Amino acid sequence: MWPIDRLRRQAGAKPAAEAPLALVGRDRNRRVVTAADPAAKMLGLRAGMPVTKAQALVPGLVIEPADPQADAKSLGRLALWVMQRFSPIVAVDGADGIVIDATGAAHLHGGEGAMLDALTGRLALSGVTARAAIADSRGAAHALARYGGAPVFVAPPGETAPLLAPLPLQALRLPPAIVMGLHDLGFSRIGDLTGQPRAPLTRRFGPELCRRLDQAFGTLAEPIEPIRPQELITARRAFAEPIGAAETIARYIGKLVATLCAALEARGLGVRRLDLICHRVDNQVQTVRIGLAMPQRDPARLTRLLCDRIETIAPGFGIEIMTLTATLTEPLRLKQAASSLIENPAPDLSGLIDTLANRVGAKAIYRFAPQPSDVPERSVRRIPPLAEDMGANWPDHWPRPARLLPRPEPIETMALLPDHPPNWFSWRGVRRHVRRADGPERIFGEWWKRDAEQVAVRDYFRVEDDTGARFWIFRAGDGENAATGSHRWFLHGIFG
Amino acid sequence: MRRPQDRALAELRARIARLGGGGMCGDGVLPFGIAGLDRKLPGGGLALGCLHEVAGGGDGAAAAGFAAGIAARTTGQVLWCVAMQDLFAPGLEQAGLPPGRVIFVEAGDDKAVLASMEEGLRHGGLGAVVGDVARLPMVASRRLHLAAKGTGTLCIALRRWWGRTGASDFGQPTAAMTRWRVSALPSEPLPVAGIGRARWRVELIRARAGECVDIELEACDGSGHLGLPADVADRSAAQAGRRKAGG
């Protein structure tokens, strides 16, 4: 799909989305279809089909020349974008794929699943159809992304084998000739091959088959050769003797950061994403990525953030090369410090925010801001901690609870209809007699968001029991018309 | 006119404070503005640069309002660390803490909450650091207290628990300067049906170099100040207003 998506993106709206589109290239001296969009595929076109046959099948077919070089170049740019946003180790995988090492980077996006969702979501927004999978080995992820069922899939660690077994043999990245030969012998799934003796297979098909099998199951290491664009600012240090102690790593991190910051200062840049890549003697790569809320080039602060994560680096038999790359940079001009004559400058919290964000994840640190909505759970939204103050506040007509339950909990009540508070209610097994109550405060559904809310109503009451505990409860529905809600009662919040 | 005994006592107190180290802090105090409460606290208010504990029990709503009121009266941003988020920002705003002043950290577990709180205290640019924690071991509380003392930032540990084990854990000693329990009481009676201004029983269970207090107060108003109920004080603001309106 990549060539089609790229063409549509770059050409704008020229080939209309409804018309079936096919790309045409040359296979020796025949003109064949190299890619077809979903509309054309629905009509029976396949890659590898002669153009004349395709045109005969689909009369209104739009044909564009294929341009593999532009596709590859564009894919390289996409890989660079993924590297800057998602993970330090990224490489182009074949003609239509990108392989990402998610280790050490997923925490910034709130876990592996969230990271894949964010990645495919961003790609879909810009018109690129993407399928993604995370698995234990590069081969398994390749197979699951291309031949697995779900468009976004995270394989649980250690359970690769049963997931790979039902996939077709093409998923192993084998040359077509080997796949055809295996088909002739009656093998069609990866699971068919796993129990077979290896020697006859190797004698017949060469070492490639077993190598690919081992790579898919993770028994053979397959390092990713990451893209390293020249224009990124990098500091590199190779060691004559491999290093392993945490203190030594910290010392060299400090030296690398100092070099990098000098280079950044010379260009007037500050760093937003910083990657530390440690090459070990056993050819494994350990990575640490830190993200910053604002562009920075303060060596002490960057060193501190990197040193906080030293414990995630497994040095193994020793580290021989350390590379520090400023993956994402933004201009950072020198600022004059505010004079203390007029007023005390507001303390700079970005250092604290960065430290916390790299520890608990950037999504877990936020501020609340008002959202224009009457429905309580929709009236707050989360904004980044250093975002500008909105200046707006919530309306102050009615008291609001200090704590809101994650979702309203059903309660048992005895209440007069239509608009009386309950006489008693029981929540979490405790029956409470209502001594005083305020309400109802009627909240209407937001019909512009969902059709189901067109007539929905909630009647909120503030009730106080004998001991003085105050609760925020509501009845779904207006008490008269069954269409407005189920007339069941829920407890939604607790007042102080 | 101070009597000589008073001066001797004050000197003695200052010397003990210097020796004790962990006791009084030189960062000043944050008075409640309620004489009955401030008189019992050393220095006449809640000591800044110290750890304070507030018992919240299971729901911890009253304790959250109490902590929000204290944090609202400090200057600067407030860092509020929670394991799972259940605070409702409009409710906190009504206790005096507007959304623009609070940065929330949703750390996931108690250990990460304590680490985030300590990080915030060591920064020094914050007005107050509040954390919802279930367990607060002695070592962790001492770390928080020392971090708070280093920068003069007010630290409030909101203790929440479910079941008996949590309650017994709250009985364990910690390095906190004061320990409070805030529970909801029936609200101010109104001449009409409805709920008046919320009232709390505020108990100061333990105060280093201070006395215990058990007092009934009105919940925080929009600026984070507690109030003295009208039937306890001779004439509170609310009572005065009503009299004026009536007469």
Does A173 lie in the same domain as A281?
no
Instruction: Inform me whether the C-beta atom of residue B99 falls under 8 Å from chain A C-beta atoms.
Output: yes
- List the 432-471 stretch of A: residues with Cβ below 8 A of B: 435-438, 462-464, 466-470
Contact A386, A294 (CB under 8 A): yes
Q: Rg of chain B over CA atoms, in angstroms?
A: 19
Answer whether residue A412 is part of any domain. yes
- Nearest neighbour of B99 by CB, restricted to A360, A369, A405: A369
Answer whether residue A376 is part of any domain. no
Does A121 lie in the same domain as A23?
no
Contact B40, B213 (CB under 8 A): yes
Contacts by residues A148-151 (CB-CB < 8 Å, ≥ 24 positions apart): A151/A120
DSSP for B103-116, written as a single string: EEEE-SSHHHHHHH
Question: pTM of the full predicted structure?
Answer: 0.73
Average pLDDT over residues B73-98: 90
Q: What domain count does chain A have?
A: 4
Average pLDDT over residues A12-27: 72
Average pLDDT over residues A347-373: 86
- List the 399-418 stretch of A: residues with Cβ below 8 A of B: 399-406
Answer whether residue A352 is part of any domain. no
Average pLDDT over residues B233-238: 50
pLDDT tier at B26, thresholds 50, 70, 90: low
pLDDT digit string (tens) for B133-146? Answer: 988 999 999 999 99
Does A266 lie in the same domain as A134?
no
- Pairwise CA distance, residues A3 & A129, whole Å: 11
- As a whole number of angstroms, the longest Cα–Cα distance in chain A is 90
* The domain boundary residue, chosen from A66, A83, A113: A66
Does A205 lie in the same domain as A91?
yes
- pLDDT value, residue B244: 40
Measuring CA to CA, how many Å separate B93 from each of A35, A107, B146, B195? 58, 32, 30, 19
Does A244 lie in the same domain as A327?
yes
* CATH code of the domain containing A62: 3.40.1170.60
Structure-model confidence comparison of residues B195 and A333, the more confident one: B195
- Pairwise CA distance, residues B242 & B247, whole Å: 8
pLDDT digit string (tens) for A131-144? Answer: 888 888 888 888 88
Measuring CA to CA, how many Å separate A252 from each of A101, A243, A246, A297? 24, 10, 10, 17
Q: In Å, how far is A225's CA from the nearest CA of chain B?
A: 35
Percentage of the residues of chain B whose pLDDT score is greater than 70: 87
Answer whether residue A353 is part of any domain. no
- pLDDT value, residue A14: 55
Does A122 lie in the same domain as A90?
yes
Instruction: Inform me whether the C-beta atom of residue A379 falls under 8 Å from chain B C-beta atoms.
Output: yes
Residue-wise over A314-340: b if at least 16 C-beta within 10 A, else e? ebeebbbebbbbbbbbeebeeeeeeee
Does residue B22 register a pLDDT over 60? no
Q: Over chain A, what is the mean pLDDT?
A: 85
- pLDDT value, residue A410: 92
What percentage of chain A's residues is helix, strand, coil (to nearest 5)? Answer: 35, 30, 35
- pLDDT value, residue A172: 86
- pLDDT value, residue A411: 92
- pLDDT value, residue A348: 80
Does residue B38 register a pLDDT over 70? yes
User: Do residue A468 and residue B187 have CB atoms under 8 angstroms apart?
Assistant: yes
- Pairwise CA distance, residues A269 & A329, whole Å: 6
Please report which residue ranges of B138-215 form alpha helices under DSSP H. Answer: 138-151, 164-170
* The domain boundary residue, chosen from A163, A183, A217: A217
- pLDDT value, residue B241: 45
User: Do residue B88 and residue A462 have CB atoms under 8 angstroms apart?
Assistant: no
Instruction: Inform me whether the C-beta atom of residue B108 falls under 8 Å from chain A C-beta atoms.
Output: yes
* CATH code of the domain containing A308: 3.30.1490.100
- pLDDT value, residue A338: 58
Does A155 lie in the same domain as A94?
yes
* The domain boundary residue, chosen from A217, A252, A285: A217
Tokens standing for residue A300 = 């002490």
pLDDT tier at A463, thresholds 50, 70, 90: very high
Contacts by residues A231-234 (CB-CB < 8 Å, ≥ 24 positions apart): A232/A325, A232/A326, A232/A327, A233/A260, A233/A263, A233/A264, A233/A267, A233/A269, A233/A325, A233/A326, A233/A329, A234/A260, A234/A323, A234/A324, A234/A325, A234/A326
- Pairwise CA distance, residues A78 & A3, whole Å: 13
- pLDDT value, residue B240: 45
- pLDDT value, residue A446: 84
Boundaries of domain holding A308: 233-331
Does A162 lie in the same domain as A78?
yes
- pLDDT value, residue A340: 59
For chain A, what's the residue count?
496
Average pLDDT over residues B172-199: 88
Amino acid (one-letter) located at A148: G
Average pLDDT over residues A16-34: 80
- Nearest neighbour of B88 by CB, restricted to A349, A435, A493: A493
- pLDDT value, residue A342: 58
User: Do residue A359 and residue B199 have CB atoms under 8 angstroms apart?
Assistant: no
pLDDT tier at A396, thresholds 50, 70, 90: confident
Instruction: Inform me whether the C-beta atom of residue A359 falls under 8 Å from chain B C-beta atoms.
Output: yes
User: Do residue B126 and residue A366 have CB atoms under 8 angstroms apart?
Assistant: no
Does residue A31 register a pLDDT over 90? no
Contact A496, B64 (CB under 8 A): yes
pLDDT digit string (tens) for B99-135? Answer: 889 999 998 888 999 999 999 999 888 999 999 998 8
Q: B117: nearest CA in chain A? A: A356
Answer whether residue A39 is part of any domain. yes
- Pairwise CA distance, residues A361 & B106, whole Å: 9
Chain B residues near residue A368 by CB distance under 8 angstroms: 89, 99, 102, 104
- pLDDT value, residue B118: 93
Does residue A491 register a pLDDT over 50? yes
Pick the CATH number of B35-246 from 1.20.1730.10, 3.40.50.300, 3.30.1360.70, 3.30.465.10: 3.40.50.300
Q: In Å, how far is A318's CA from the nearest CA of chain B?
A: 30
Does A89 lie in the same domain as A209?
yes
Does A9 lie in the same domain as A42?
yes
Q: In Å, how far is A370's CA from the nearest CA of chain B?
A: 8
- pLDDT value, residue A486: 84
**Least confident piece of the model among A166-170, A310-314, A347-351, B2-6:** B2-6
- Pairwise CA distance, residues A179 & A161, whole Å: 20
pLDDT digit string (tens) for A436-459? Answer: 998 788 888 888 888 777 788 889
User: Do residue A403 and residue B195 have CB atoms under 8 angstroms apart?
Assistant: no
Tokens standing for residue A478 = 């207006």
Answer whether residue A223 is part of any domain. no
Does A8 lie in the same domain as A104?
no
Q: A405: nearest CA in chain B? A: B86
Does residue A19 register a pLDDT over 80? no
Q: A440: nearest CA in chain B? A: B194
Answer whether residue A32 is part of any domain. yes
Q: In Å, how far is A358's CA from the nearest CA of chain B?
A: 11
- Pairwise CA distance, residues B237 & B188, whole Å: 13
Does residue A25 register a pLDDT over 70? yes
- pLDDT value, residue A252: 92
- Pairwise CA distance, residues A110 & A108, whole Å: 6
